[in-house]
Amino acid sequence: MMSFLAVFIGGGLGSISRFAISLAFNKGTGDFPLATLIANFLACIVLAAGFVYFQKHVDLNPQWKLFLLTGFCGGFSTFSTFSMESFLLFQQGQTSMALAYMLASAISCILAIAITLRILSM
C-alpha cells in the first residue's frame, strides 16, 4: 500500500510541476509546444539523475525510488501530450514544425540523459 502512496504523491507533485512549466513557458511561443519540450527535457534529467542516485544508494527504502522515478517523472513527463501536439501540427498542415518539434524533443531528451549520466558517473 505504501508503494501506491509513494507513486500517487510523486505523480501529483510531478503533475503540478508540469502545470507550472506550462504556465511559465506557453506565453508567446506561437504554435511551437515549448513547455512540453522543456518538461520532457527536465524529466529526462531527473530520471537519469535518480537512476544513478538509486544505483549508488541501494540501501534506501524502495519507496523513494517509486516516488521519484515512477511517480514524479511519470506525472512530470508528458510524452502523451508530445504525441498529441505532434499529431495536431501534422493535421494542421504544419509538417515542418511537427518534424522540427519531434526531432528537437528526441535529440534533446536523449542528450539530457546521456549528459546527466556522464556528469553523475564522474
Tell me the one-letter amino acid at 3.
S
C-alpha distances in angstroms, 65 versus 4, 58, 73, 74, 84?
Answer: 12, 10, 11, 12, 29
pLDDT of 10 > 90? The answer is yes
**What is the reported pLDDT for 122?**
77
Instruction: Summarize pLDDT for 60-111 with one digit per residue, the tens.
Output: 999 999 999 999 999 999 888 899 899 999 999 999 999 999 999 999 999 9
**What is the reported pLDDT for 81?**
82
pLDDT of 29 > 70? The answer is no
Least-confidence region, from 13-17, 28-32, 45-49, 89-93: 28-32
Torsion of CA 83, 69, 1, 12, to 10 degrees: -60
C-alpha distances in angstroms, 120 versus 44, 65, 115?
Answer: 14, 17, 9
Determine what percent of the chain is predicted with pLDDT higher than 90.
Answer: 81
For the question of whether the overall pTM of this predicted structure is more than 0.95, the answer is no
pLDDT of 42 > 80? The answer is yes
**What is the reported pLDDT for 78?**
81
Higher pLDDT, 26 or 39: 39
